[in-house]
Copies of this chain bind each other. A is one copy, B any other.
């Protein structure tokens, strides 16, 4: 039962080291608490690896990247691998600069990631970064994940998971989570989630918490975290009044994770496995 994965987070309360952008750090910390885990944030090379050592999982997020933070990600990632803790990568805006692309390429070279979570365009940029030959044409790929492009998208993203040797979670109108063999196609979520900054960052932190509490089932744990975030978006939307906007919605999404029981998640998760 997938709800058990959330129950494990609540029971084990894993400490999650998050190296993320200051834009969404507060929300990520409160989201980690909401799901039952505990957050710690440290992004300086002077302590990043040591802080990781006392944690059960690591979440790396490229937002407002600096050279100093890139070094910390590298050191913490390697240390986390040594400890066999899950390491999650959120390649925020990786297509926006060569600095982010080069940082990801260096990370992928030296750190084994348990899961990579991003939108389709971020995941493609990463997959291209490790490709020996540039891909041919975009016509081979689904432009966005919709019901019409779903079959093609599942195959494409399975290919990325195999190439990157990690679970890949592509979130959008429909979410796809795959290890290259099996793919969870998830239809939870609400369009308003994209009207709040950092819901993707929060989800990546959730994935880290779920994987840390369920190290033997990282595909299912990642999929369940994606379902939980989407379901929270749906629940939060039912609370909205006419005058509420994206700031109130932001609070309600975190609130919904805080109050979500394993049974709620089991009932509300809307997915199929392909």
Q: A23's closest neighbor in chain B, by CB?
A: B25
Query: A51–B97 contact, CB under 8 A?
Result: yes
Q: Is A252's beta carbon under 8 Å from chain B? A: yes
Bound CA–CA A20/B220 (angstroms): 37
A244 to B46, CA, bound (A): 38
A81 at interface by CB-CB < 8 Å: no
Contacts of A196 in B (CB 8 A): 30, 33
CA distance A99 to B50 in the complex (A): 9
**What are 27 inter-chain pairs, A to B, with CB distance below 8 A?**
A22-B23, A23-B29, A25-B64, A26-B26, A34-B195, A34-B246, A34-B247, A41-B64, A42-B64, A42-B96, A42-B97, A44-B64, A46-B66, A46-B99, A47-B97, A47-B100, A50-B96, A50-B97, A50-B99, A54-B96, A242-B259, A244-B255, A245-B256, A245-B257, A245-B259, A247-B252, A247-B255
Residues on A close to B: CB < 8 A? 21-27, 29-30, 33-34, 39-44, 46-47, 50-51, 54, 63-68, 93, 96-100, 195-198, 235, 239, 242-248, 250-259
